[in-house]
Amino acid sequence: MSKLKSILKVVLPLLLGIGLVWYSLSKISISLLIKYFRDADYSWIILGVFLGLLSHASRAYRWLFMAEPLGYKPKFLNSFMSVYSAYLINLTIPRAGEIARATIISNYEELPFDKGFGSIVAERVADTIMLFLIVAIAFFLEFQFIYEFFSSKFNFLTLIIGGIVLVIVAIALLLFFRKSNSKLAIKVKSFLSGIIEGVLSIFNMKKKWAFIGHTIFIWVMYVLMFYITTFALPELHNISLAAVLIGFILASFSIAATNGGIGSFPEAVVIAFSLFGMATEPSRAFGWIMWSTQTLVIIVVGGLSLLYLPVYNRKKSSV
């Protein structure tokens, strides 16, 4: 049963991705998509790629602050290569990258796997907080738009009733998980406990402000990378900040839905941009351009990292 579950975790996201690729490409002709790729201003795309590299370099450097309290001082280059190797592996097996990253660090820096993996989980907690902070900013900036959008779909009374139902369900679930000793409840409580522990570990580290600063920098670079790349297509030059933020948020969630966002990333962009009246064809083309260039960088840098890791560490050990 556990083997079947493991297979489904790999196969289902892949099948979903293939299905979404087919759906996306059925909505735009290949010749038109190629034209968008050919006519795009690659100076903006290259700048976006550079910002992506900066964010990942910052992520690699940020992790050094997590390792220090554990009594280890890993090399930055090992951390950088492990980050890109993890991204590459996530393209093939969803969510396997974190395990691979912890394994790489364990092999080349002699940091125990459990401690390395725990620090990476704590990093993810900080990233999750930042993503939801961006959601909150987008909600604040476009409260009127979001309110009007949902008001047009549902009447005011329905929204109030829905809100009350959600609050009641949330309280009921909280009471259930607090008192229950079922396997599901124990897993949920353990997960929430790990999140709280991860957050507290961030504030207890010596260089917490440097860690927080890098975390903010990473996500600012992510948003800028997304925004800057829109300038590659003339049709998106007048895009609003709100559309960029909503597009970025949906695209970020889409990466968790399929292997590295294959198929789901362009469609998430289309959904977000269409809310703001942007044409679907350039929106879909942008989604494919954005996803393709970033994925290409991950494949190239991640592949080179996997190849160079043993070479770099062999040289280091022979000194």
Task: Kindly list the domain boundaries of the chain, sorted by start residue.
Answer: 36-153+206-318
> Is the separation of the CB atoms in 49 and 55 below 8 Å?
no
| Residue where the block lists tokens 């679907």 | 280
Cβ contacts of 37-44, under 8 Å, gap ≥ 24: 37/285, 37/288, 37/289, 37/292, 40/232, 40/233, 40/289, 41/231, 41/232, 41/233, 42/232, 44/228, 44/229, 44/230, 44/231, 44/232
pLDDT tens figures, 160-182: 776 677 778 777 777 776 777 77
Confidence (pLDDT) at 149: 60
Confidence (pLDDT) at 232: 95
Q: What is the pTM of this model?
A: 0.81
Confidence (pLDDT) at 117: 80
Confidence (pLDDT) at 72: 78
Among 120, 93, 90, which Cα is nearest to 105's? 120
Confidence (pLDDT) at 99: 84
Tally of CB atoms within 10 A around 194: 14
Low-confidence ranges of the chain (pLDDT < 50): 319
